[in-house]
Amino acid sequence: MSISVNTMRAIDHWVGVPLCALVSPFVALVDRIKNIFSRGPETPKKLLFIELSEMGSAILVDPAMRNAQARGAELFFLIFKSNRASLTLLNTVKPENIFTIDSSSLGGLIKDTLRFLIIARRHRIDTAIDLELFSRFTALLTGLCGARRRVGYHIFHGEGLWRGFMLTRKVHYNPHIHITKNFLSLIHAAFAKEIEVPFSKIHISDSEVRLEQAIINPQALNKVRERIEKLAAEKKIVFTFGKERVILVNPNASDLLPQRRWAQQRFSELIQSIHIQYPHDLILITGSPAEFVYVEKVRAVANVKNAINFAGQVSFAELPPLYTLSDVMITNDSGPGHFSAVTPLRTVVLFGPETPALYGSVGNSIAITANLACSPCVSAANHRKTPCHNNVCMQAITVSQVLEKVIIQLNEADKAKARSI
C-alpha cells in the first residue's frame, strides 16, 4: 500500500521536527571537526539537487541546473522513484547520477533513504541543494549526505517551519518571484565566495529563465503520429496531419492537490465548444493509464465524434513527440503544463489554489486564474495544504474564458506553422 500525501505530511511534521532537533547538534559538530582538519573545494565540484515530490519542479529547476553545469559542477539528483521519468525529458543529469527513493511503502522509504546516505558519501558529494520548500525530510537528507556546502531555504524570523540547522548557506525564499528564479538564487548561494545573510543579494533577469528544448527522436515522432492516425481511422474520423489541428485536453491533476481540478463537466463543455468552433480538428483527451476512467467520463459526456480518449496511449518518454505534433493543450495546473514547455506546444493552463506568478509554465503558455481574495491558498508557509473543500477559484473559470484563450493560441500556432485553415 502506497503512502498517502497527508500521511507523508504528518510524518514530516511529527517525526521530522524532533529528528531535526536531535540531528542538528551532530551535524554542527561534524562541520566543526571538518573545518579544523580539512578544506573542501572552493567551488562546487559535485553538486546534488534534492527534489522529491513534484515532477513539474524537475523541469522548472533545469535553468538552475544548467547554470551550475556551466560553472563546472558535475550534477547529481535525488528524487522519488515514481517521479524519476521527469528528469529524462531534457537529460541534463546523467542517468547514473540520478538517485531514487521508493515512496510506495514505509519500508521502502526507510531502506532507500539509508542506501542514499551511503551512496552520496561514496560519490563524495561536496555540495547539496535542497529544492523543497521547508520539508524536514529533505533537510535531514541534506544535513546527513556528507556534503560540506549545504544550501536551501531558511525561515529566519518566520514561525512554524523550523527545520533545524542543516544548512551552511541559508537562502531567503521569495514568494513574489517565479520559482525558477528562486532556484537560480540557490545556485548563486552555492557558488558565492562570501557568506551573505540572507542569500541571495542579486537581481535575476527574465533572460536567465530559459528552458532548453527536448531533442525529438524522429522514429518516436513517427510512432506517435501513426498511433494517432490509427485511432482516428478506427473511430472513422477524417483527419490529416498538417491539414487539421491536434488539440489536447488534459482534464486531471495529481492527488497532491485535487483542488486544482476544473470540473469534469466543464471540460466536457469545453470540448463541445471547441468542436463547434473547429469541427474538423482532432481532440485528444489525455491522461495516464490510471486516469482512463476519469477521461472516459469527460469524453462520454461531451459526446463529440472527433474527441478520443487518449489516456495511456503514450509513455512518459513519448510526451515530447506528442506535444510536438499537437497545436494547443488545455490543462489544469499540473505536470503536463511544465512538461510541454520543452516543446513548441502552446498551452492554456487553469490556476486556482496556486498562482501562475510563482508556478506558471515557462513555455508558450497563457494562464487563467480567477484572482479570488483567498487565492492562492497554498504556499510554502502551509506545506501546500489547503483547508478548502470547495474550489470556487476553479469553478469561477468559465468555458467561454478558456475558449477565448484557446482561439488565441491556435491562431498563433497557425502562424508558426504557416497554415491557413
Q: What is the pLDDT of residues 91-140, one digit of tens each?
A: 999 999 999 999 999 899 999 999 999 999 999 999 999 999 989 999 99
Q: How far apart are CA 8 and CA 103, in angstroms?
A: 9
Domain identity same for 228 and 199: no
Strand partners, 351: 369
Residues 6+ apart with CB under 8 A from 116: 78, 99, 101, 141, 145
In a domain, 172, yes or no: yes
Q: How far apart are CA 393 and CA 212, in angstroms?
A: 32
The per-residue pLDDT for 421 is 59
In a domain, 42, yes or no: yes
End-of-domain residue from the set 208, 226, 244? 208
Helix axes 179-191, 62-70, angle to 10 degrees: 20
pTM: 0.94
Nearest to 190 by CA among 48, 10, 384: 48
Q: How far apart are CA 180 and CA 239, in angstroms?
A: 39
Nearest to 261 by CA among 270, 269, 253: 253
3-state secondary structure labels for all residues of 275-300: HHHCCCCEEEECCCHHHHHHHHHHHH
- The enclosing domain of 375 has a CATH number of 3.40.50.2000
In a domain, 356, yes or no: yes
In a domain, 151, yes or no: yes
Domain span at residue 76?
Answer: 5-208
In a domain, 213, yes or no: no
- Contact present, 241 and 325 (Cβ < 8 Å): yes
DSSP characters over 160-181: S----S--SEEE---TTS-HHH
The per-residue pLDDT for 420 is 67
The per-residue pLDDT for 40 is 72
In order of 104, 295, 319, 354, 410, the CA distances from 239 in angstroms are 41, 22, 21, 37, 17
Domain identity same for 139 and 280: no
Please name the helix (run of DSSP H) or strand (run of DSSP E) that holds residue 153, with its range, or none: strand 149-153
Domain identity same for 233 and 185: no
Domain identity same for 323 and 176: no
In a domain, 421, yes or no: no
The per-residue pLDDT for 160 is 81
- Please identify every stretch of the chain with a pLDDT value under 70, giving residue numbers as ranges: 1-2, 420-421
Strand partners, 151: 129, 169
End-of-domain residue from the set 208, 238, 260? 208
Q: How far apart are CA 209 and CA 187, in angstroms?
A: 13
Nearest to 324 by CA among 220, 239, 240, 244: 220
Domain identity same for 181 and 231: no
The per-residue pLDDT for 213 is 95
Q: Which amino acid is at 150?
A: R
Helix, strand, or coil (residue 12): helix
In a domain, 371, yes or no: yes
Residues 6+ apart with CB under 8 A from 395: 263
Strand partners, 98: 77
- All 3 cell numbers of residue 260? 486544482
Nearest to 21 by CA among 162, 148, 154, 146: 162
Domain identity same for 69 and 159: yes
Domain identity same for 317 and 380: yes
Positive/negative CA dihedral, 400, 403, 407, 408? positive
Q: How many CA atoms lie within 13 A of 270 on its CB side?
A: 31
In a domain, 332, yes or no: yes
End-to-end CA distance of the chain: 51
- Contact present, 380 and 294 (Cβ < 8 Å): no
pLDDT in tens, 269-294: 999 999 999 999 999 999 999 999 99
Cis omega (within 30 of 0) on the bond before 200?
A: yes
Domain identity same for 282 and 340: yes
Count up the domains in the chain and report the number: 2
Domain identity same for 185 and 39: yes
Domain identity same for 230 and 378: yes
- Contact present, 199 and 170 (Cβ < 8 Å): yes
End-of-domain residue from the set 208, 227, 245? 208
